Amino acid sequence: MTPSNTRPNLPALAKYRGRHYLDDQDYSAEELLELIDLAVRLKALWRTRPFTPFLLGKSLAMIFDQGSTRTRVSFETGMYELGGHALYLRPGEIHLPGKESVGDTARALSVFNNAIEMRYCDPRVLTEFAAGAEVPVINGMVLTVRDPQTGKILVHGSHPAQSMTDAMTVMEKRGRIEGLTIAWVGVAEDVGWSDVLTFSRLGANVRVAAPKHSPLTDDVCRKVRANCDKWGTSLHVTDDPVDAVTTADVVFTQMWWWDEDDAEKERYMTLSQPFQVNEDLMRHAAPDAMFMHCLPAQRGQEVTDAVIDSPASVVWDEAENRKHFQKGLLLALIGIDDLPADPDLHEIGRALLS
Ligand code: CP
């Protein structure tokens, strides 16, 4: 999707103002496509005008209880390029967790900021935080919560800022998502679940091969099938990575481990080994298939150098697009009160005001 194949006019965007972005499934397919359209236009504008101060004087609080390279830096530089300011807040620097309730922290940060981005291990904290916040709250990734005794999934993790960036990247490369086939191979939780939900909502067929310890859960399958029913597309779940990638236009994977201890990490790596994305596997995908990975990558584990460094790989565009998609999201959710003086900002400015 380039500016030449975006819609002729940006749609009215004021309807997004004040909304949370906790889950992209809270947005219709039409709304998600509008947000991608906005991001594509912002990226085109950025090429000639890196500094576009739509959000002059506005502030974004960013809470991270785990590390991040892309999410932290893309939100912070994105907010700067929009003329605003971003605060990077870690546990120990604010009173969450511990000295203050989640709701009180949300109220306090709402007093000082125009939006709040949150990466937090426990999705329940994000939900509670958003309920107490008086400004838009954006999910910067939450992790799956399991019962420590049984391993049963209690709450699903998600990363909808990543999955919508992935959708933007595919739109940019292929001009559409409707009718394409995506394959998710390997550990499916969090980013995988978000990707299959986002792409099915936007009209893609979905094929998944995931290890048993991190599957496409019944809950995610049900939601993906509901999305597919609207488009006449399909969900295919298999144990066989070759079956999953056959005919796929896009092949996705992600890291096999995240915060586990060494023993659990070893176990996950052994269970996930058959799901490595390598050159042999990619030969079964469509001849022009793209490879995508949210990063960070563990080269030689879930993906080989030969794939991630191949011409089929779009991982660096995918990383860059985090900033462009999130700039659009920040603009849509925070909104503007006045048309910027700069004529180059008028098209987007008018859409934001209408
Ligand atoms: N993809 C992603 O969220 O990367 P970071 O963990 O570096 O933010």
Q: Residues 62, 189: one domain?
A: no
pLDDT interval class at 9 (50, 70, 90) = confident
Q: Residues 136, 183: one domain?
A: no
> pLDDT tens, 13-69?
999 999 999 999 999 999 999 999 999 999 999 999 999 999 999 999 999 999 999
Q: What percent of the chain has pLDDT over 70?
A: 98
Q: Residues 123, 235: one domain?
A: no
Q: Residues 110, 43: one domain?
A: yes
Asked whether residue 1 is domain-assigned, the answer is: no
In this prediction, residue 7 carries a pLDDT of 66
Q: Report the b/e string of 70-101 with b at 16+ CB within 10 A.
A: bbbebbbbbbbbbebbbbbbeeeebebeeeee
In this prediction, residue 4 carries a pLDDT of 47
Instruction: State which of 191, 293, 294 you would mutate to test the pocket of ligand 1, scoring each by most atoms of that ligand within 8 A of its C-beta.
Output: 294
Q: Residues 67, 148: one domain?
A: yes
Q: Residues 211, 177: one domain?
A: yes
Q: What is the mean pLDDT of the chain?
A: 96
> pLDDT tens, 165-184?
999 999 999 999 999 999 99
Q: Is the pLDDT of residue 346 over 90?
A: yes
Partners of 181 in the β-ladder: 205
Asked whether residue 344 is domain-assigned, the answer is: no
- Identify each DSSP E strand in the chain by its residue range: 59-64, 85-89, 115-120, 137-142, 145-146, 153-155, 181-185, 205-209, 235-238, 250-253, 290-293
Cα separation, 6 vs 41, in Å, equals 8
In this prediction, residue 182 carries a pLDDT of 98
Asked whether residue 27 is domain-assigned, the answer is: yes
In this prediction, residue 6 carries a pLDDT of 60
Which atom of ligand 1 has the smallest separation from the CA of 141? 3
* Run of H or E including 249: none
Q: Position 71: which residue type? A: T
Q: What range defines the domain where residue 115 resides?
A: 15-156+322-336
In this prediction, residue 98 carries a pLDDT of 87
Asked whether residue 251 is domain-assigned, the answer is: yes
Q: Is the pLDDT of residue 97 over 90?
A: no
What is the distance of C-alpha 124 from the center of its chain?
Answer: 18
Q: Residues 23, 93: one domain?
A: yes
Q: Residues 210, 87: one domain?
A: no
pLDDT (mean) for 286-309: 98
H helices of 140-217, in order, are: 160-174, 191-201
pLDDT (mean) for 131-145: 98
Task: List the single range of 1-15, 179-193, 325-339 with lowest mean pLDDT.
Answer: 1-15
CATH number, position 251: 3.40.50.1370
Asked whether residue 68 is domain-assigned, the answer is: yes
In this prediction, residue 342 carries a pLDDT of 95
The number of distinct structural domains making up the chain is 2
> pLDDT tens, 82-96?
999 999 999 999 999
Asked whether residue 353 is domain-assigned, the answer is: no
pLDDT (mean) for 287-310: 98
The answer to whether the CB of 316 falls within 8 A of the CB of 344 is no
Q: Position 64: which residue type? A: F
Q: Residues 312, 332: one domain?
A: no
Q: Residues 68, 23: one domain?
A: yes
Instruction: State which of 63, 65, 68 you would mutate to test the pocket of ligand 1, scoring each by most atoms of that ligand within 8 A of its C-beta.
Output: 68
Q: Residues 253, 294: one domain?
A: yes
Those residues with Cβ within 8 angstroms of residue 135's Cβ, 6 or more apart along the chain or in another chain: 18, 109, 110, 113, 114, 115, 116, 334
Ligand 1 center–CA 301 separation, angstroms: 18
Q: Residues 133, 180: one domain?
A: no
Asked whether residue 222 is domain-assigned, the answer is: yes
Ligand 1 center–CA 181 separation, angstroms: 24
pLDDT (mean) for 205-214: 97
Asked whether residue 346 is domain-assigned, the answer is: no
Q: Nearest to residue 154, comparing CAs of 224, 227, 219? A: 219
